[in-house]
Amino acid sequence: MDIQQQVQQAQSGDHHAFVELMKHMEARLYRIALAIVKKKEDIVDAMQETIIKAYESLSTLRETAFFETWVIRILINECNAIWRKRQRVIPFAEIRPASAVSSAYEAVDIRQLVDQLEEDKRQLIILHYFQDIPLKQVADMMNISEGTAKTRLHRTRKLLSCWLEDHEEGGRTYEHK
């Protein structure tokens, strides 16, 4: 049975069909959540909320062909909500004295730079490069045109490149442009 038929059955009230759909997407959802929030407890929270919201609003899905994109979009929104909450709180253990600032010669983790990006830019990089999702599908998930996604991707790569150059030269400019 194909996914569209399962979605239609789930929309008709077949709980087993919905469970099968979620099992089919579980690994992909986990990888996306891991790329965005990184902490296992946050991944579990995001996936649980995604499943609940998808189940509760399944009747609002008009095109069964877009089920996977729709669920991934819900997951991204949940991950971003968790991410925003976590960014407001800085654990005391992570506060370092000014003298403990790392030197410019330490290796830069590209993921740390990506985490510094604005939400929409971070999503674009994570989905396209870290999760290998085609740009057209990423654009659909983010509710933007493919041309807009290409432009944002180009600008974001340029920004990351500048940040890397600054880091190599010893500067630290993490401004969002």
Residue-wise pLDDT tens digits, 121-139: 988 998 888 888 889 999 9
The whole-number pLDDT of residue 132 equals 85
Of the residues 52, 68, 95, the one at which a domain ends: 95
| 7 and 79 within one domain | yes
The whole-number pLDDT of residue 152 equals 92
Does this model's pTM top 0.95?
A: no
| 80 and 111 within one domain | no
- Vertex 128: Cα angle to 27 and 70 (nearest 5): 55
pLDDT band, residue 56 (cuts 50/70/90): very high
The residue segments making up the domain with residue 87 are 1-95
Rounded-to-integer distance, Cα 160 and Cα 86, Å: 23
The whole-number pLDDT of residue 160 equals 86
Q: Are 77 and 32 in contact (CB under 8 A)?
A: no
Q: What's the CATH number where 155 sits?
A: 1.10.10.10
Q: Is the dihedral of CA 22, 28, 33, 38 positive or negative?
A: positive
Between 33-37, 66-70, 82-86, 162-166, the lowest mean confidence (pLDDT) is in: 162-166
Q: Pick the residue with more confidence: 108 or 149?
A: 149
The whole-number pLDDT of residue 114 equals 85
Work out the number of other CB atoms within 10 angstroms of the CB of residue 13: 10
